[in-house]
Amino acid sequence: MVVASQGWLSRSRKRGQRRRAGGRQEAFPGQKRGISPEKARGTVCQSPYPARAGRDREGLRRHGSGKAAQDLGGRGQSAPGGSDMEPREHGPAQQRPARGTLLRELESLRARIRELETGYGLCLLRDPTRPGFRWPAEAPADSQLAFRDIFNLEAIQEIQDAFAAATNVASIITEVDGRPITRPSRFCRLCREVVRRTPTGLANCIRSDAAFGSNDPLEPIMRPCLSSGLWDGGTSIYVGERHVANWVVGQVRIECGDDDRMRAYAAEIGADEEQYRTALAEVPVMTREQFLNVCQALCLIAYQISTLAENNYLQAQAIERLRQAELALRESEERFRQLSGATFEGIFIHQGGRILDVNKAGCAMFGRTRQALLGRDVESLVSLADRPLATACPDADDGDACLAKFLGPGGEERVCEIRERDMAYQGRAARVLAVRDITEQVLADQVAKEKQQQLIQADKMVSLGVLVAGMAHEINNPNSVITLNLPLLQEVWEDVAPILDAYYRDNGDFLAGGLEYSELRDQMPDLLARMFEGAARIRGIVGSLKNFSRHSPEDFKWDIDINAVVRSSLELVGNLVAKSTRRFTVSLAEGLPPVTANPQKLSQVVINLVVNACEALSEPSQAIGVKTFYDAAADCLVVRVTDGGIGISPDVLSKIMDPFFTTKRETGGTGLGLSVSATIVEEHGGRLTFASDPGVMTTVELRLPACAAGLAKTTDRPAPNGSGRSIPAPAGSRGQGDRDGA
């Protein structure tokens, strides 16, 4: 079968050139049955229409059709064969159809082919839109292609029947191995009822049909049948380079044929000889020229049908591939829409920054409709400061995601993680941008970091508590010796003082301890009093340290006197206060109601506020004041700390209690002091307030709800283990002022 493919025609031409160069080597198949070489000459006939490389289908049709018309109409030269093909009388003349009649029948057959093509097609895959058409689950590969996969057997059967009727020859289409595909047309009684009824005859017939394959579809084969010896012709049907079938015609007797040999074949296959002779006489008789014309017409018709089938098959394959590609594209786009619609990330498809598509999450992320976002520049959604960062985001396959701040629905900045890569969108090169809002995650990370730092700080405080407890023990031991021996020393002085006075009256002044006795006698009571006071002060400081470092559960609170907490806190920072200012004032109101609190935690807050006040001073002449009072309107106790330092600017004041915010990073500030203090105060149901006039004064107020138990007694309520004992403010500190003003 010839196809319209230029490449295939080129390969066909090469095969033809090789055959013409080397000649045909095969022997005449009937030679084994004793047919002489002279009679065998010309039995395997080469077509007078050699395959021409590069010739288009229409050219082949014109060339072949014209020659066939000349031969069939008697206007052309006789086919090769010389006198061997001269007509001989071999049966009734009415068995040989007139050439004009044969020509008209062939033209009618061509018209029938066109009619069938117009009606429902010769090819199964011709029209995918016709009723009843079903796409195959999978189109067969060329190497698996079969005749039934391509052709409409019903239409082919009609053409085969019409061809047999027009040419008065038998016709059948078989598989390459000889097995029949179509029903036989005009099979003679000899083949139908005699030869094929015997096992040997049937096997020889199938073997003969299988041998009709040709490497060149335009070259018909014409030869005696390998079974009965009747003359058969045929051609190969190709689809592309796939040999799918053989079209065999014949069952005719050629003038000058060996009828005696044919009759002898009956005995070989075990058929009834009389029935065989009677059936043989009924076989149509033709000249070689007539039968050759029939075979040539067969080639052209097979070529036309098969070329149509090949083209339609290729077209159907292309249509199917296109349909599958369109289906895959639609499925891919639908999957993309479903996935992008189901994801929580904003998905933006853009080309050169211009948004081509966006999913629902992207619209919700920026508070805009899809139509409002289409056509916009992606950079317009990014914070101005982060646009260079977003533009330089690497491909997601090449690096990690980028972080950039996008503008939310209200213009607020949202921290987003962005990833980007190339993609094809509607046949165009584009970029897909995935935006994930991680603002809450960033805030959670900051809180986690703050908690971690607080845990570290708490661990340090625990370690400090252990250290302080050890130091307190080491300090208390020698201090206890002093405290216990001071009364004895005072008694000794009181006992020896009269003796020393008598000696002084009798002998005059003398030296004792490097001092004249008259001076020592006046200073000794004051020295003993200061020693008592110093020992008591040491004991008080150690007690405050132990109270401050003592670990207690988070909910371990009791009613305490806020003034006692302030006094113990000031004891701990007295040295720092004395170094920082000469103007330190303390005003503690009497009769304040108690507060329910953890004294260690409140002491931590008060110390933090006083230390911050000391650090805010630039010179000792600037003042610090601590004051406690009851705010009846708010029913709360207030601890107010003021300083005349540099003050706090408004932009810093709004962030002063944020975790890790500090203006003293270079001096070791962590930014956790006020943040932790604010957390402690909130745990106690209170709050911290700040007010500052830069360069003049800063005021911090610690406000705690008063306890409903009533006003505190003048004597402090002792805390567990005596830790709540009130300690006076350091009277001997340098710079101590009066307690009446804040």
**Is residue 598's pLDDT more than 60?**
yes
Res 338: pLDDT: 74
Which one is predicted more confidently, 176 or 476?
176
Helix (H, G, I), strand (E, B) or coil at 132: coil
Instruction: Label residue 551 by pLDDT band (50, 70, 90).
Output: low
pLDDT (mean) for 222-238: 82
Residues 688-711 have pLDDT tens digits of 888 888 888 899 999 999 886 554
Quote the pLDDT of residue 125.
43
Please give the average per-residue pLDDT across 330-338, as a whole number.
75
Query: What average pLDDT does the chain have?
Result: 72
Residues 6+ apart with CB under 8 A from 417: 401, 402, 403, 435, 436, 438
Q: Which of 8-12, 109-113, 485-489, 558-562 has the lowest mean pLDDT?
A: 8-12
Q: Which residue has the tokens 């006692």?
A: 564
Distance in angstroms (rounded) separating the CA atoms of residues 246 and 307: 15
Is the predicted pLDDT of residue 53 greater than 70, yes or no? no
Contact assessment for residue 522 and residue 504, using Cβ atoms and an 8 Å cutoff? no
Tokens of 25: 């080597």
For strand 231-239 and strand 170-174, is the pairing parallel, antiparallel, or unpaired?
unpaired
**CB environment 669-693: b (16+ within 10 A), e (fewer):** eebbbbbbbbbbbeebebebeeebe
* The pLDDT value given to residue 23: 38
Q: Which two tokens stand for residue 220?
A: 């018909």
Confidence check: pLDDT of 150 > 50? yes
* Residue of higher predicted confidence among 90 and 256: 256
pLDDT category of residue 239 using cuts at 50, 70 and 90 = confident
Quote the pLDDT of residue 42: 35
Q: pLDDT at residue 36 above 80?
A: no
Which run of H or E residues covers position 197?
none
| Residue whose entry in the numeric block shows the structure tokens 């050759």 | 292
For the entire predicted model, the pTM comes to 0.36
Contact in structure between 423 and 349 (CB atoms under 8 Å) = yes
pLDDT of 373-403, one tens digit each? 888 888 888 877 777 766 666 665 555 677 8
- CA 572 – CA 566 distance, rounded (Å): 10
What confidence score (pLDDT) does residue 731 get?
Answer: 38
pLDDT in tens, 509-545: 888 888 888 888 888 888 888 888 788 778 777 776 6
Q: What percent of the chain has pLDDT over 90?
A: 9
The whole-angstrom separation of Cα 552 and Cα 63 is 113
| Most confident listed range (84-93, 208-217, 381-390) | 381-390
Close Cβ partners of 443 (under 8 Å, ≥ 6 residues apart)? none
Choice among 45-59, 226-240, 634-648 with the minimum mean pLDDT: 45-59
pLDDT in tens, 673-694: 787 788 888 888 898 888 888 8
Greater model confidence, 62 or 560: 560
Predicted pLDDT of residue 714: 34
- Residue 598's nearest CA partner among 543, 556, 561 is 556
Q: What is the pLDDT of residue 344?
A: 74
The predicted structure's pLDDT at residue 77: 33
Cβ atoms of 168 and 97 within 8 Å: the answer is yes
Q: Supply the pLDDT for residue 566.
A: 92
Quick: pLDDT tens for 104-137: 665 666 665 555 555 445 555 444 444 444 434 4
